[in-house]
Amino acid sequence: MTKWLQRIALFSFVLALALPQVAMADSAADTYKAKCAMCHGAEGAGKAAMGTKDLGSADIQKMSDADLNAAITNGKGKMPAYKGKLTDAQITDLVKYIHTLKK
Ligand code: HEC
């Protein structure tokens, strides 16, 4: 019986360690879904009607993190600026998220 309890305690401990990381990965994806997907597509593939390119394409992936960050912070063409609407940390996470869309 005590062994069993120890196992539950160990399992909860491991879960508690793992959770913050899951939450972080989720939040960039959630921000993307809430603020970006309507123009860039659910999977970042782009929408012709909006004039957005595939975020996973070589064209976008070869942009530096600083350029991606600047595009989100200051806007670009028809894209609105997110300065003041998203925190710097959220924008940095979004840049990382864009890299996960690489083809
Ligand atoms: C109202 C529609 C719209 C929304 C909302 C929007 N974008 Fe954009 N985005 C665009 C358009 C259009 C461009 C292309 C601008 C150009 O090249 O003239 C663009 C360009 C970009 C670029 C630069 C790559 C390129 O094509 O030059 C990045 C990175 C980007 N968007 C990320 C995001 C992220 C992240 C969000 C959410 C926080 C977001 N966008 C929200 C319309 C939008």
Q: Is residue 66 part of a domain?
A: yes
* Domains identified in the chain, total number: 1
Which residue's alpha carbon is at the smallest distance from atom 34 of ligand 1?
Answer: 36
Per-residue confidence (pLDDT) for residue 5, from 0 to 100 = 80
The model's pLDDT over 31-73, given as tens digits with 9 standing for 90+, comes to: 999 999 999 999 999 999 999 999 999 999 999 999 999 999 9
Number of H helices and E strands in the chain, helices first, is: 5, 0
Pick the residue with more confidence: 5 or 88? Answer: 88
The model's pLDDT over 70-79, given as tens digits with 9 standing for 90+, comes to: 999 999 999 9
The model's pLDDT over 9-21, given as tens digits with 9 standing for 90+, comes to: 877 777 776 765 5
Which residue's alpha carbon is at the smallest distance from atom 32 of ligand 1?
Answer: 72
Determine contact, residues 39/66, Cβ cutoff 8 Å.
no
Per-residue confidence (pLDDT) for residue 19, from 0 to 100 = 63
Per-residue confidence (pLDDT) for residue 24, from 0 to 100 = 53
Q: Is residue 59 part of a domain?
A: yes
Atom of ligand 1 nearest to the CA of 82: 38
Name the residue range of residue 37's domain.
Answer: 24-100
Q: Is residue 56 part of a domain?
A: yes
Average pLDDT over residues 75-100: 96
Q: Is residue 11 part of a domain?
A: no
Residue 11 CA to ligand 1 centre (angstroms): 42
**Which amino acid would we find at residue 19?**
L
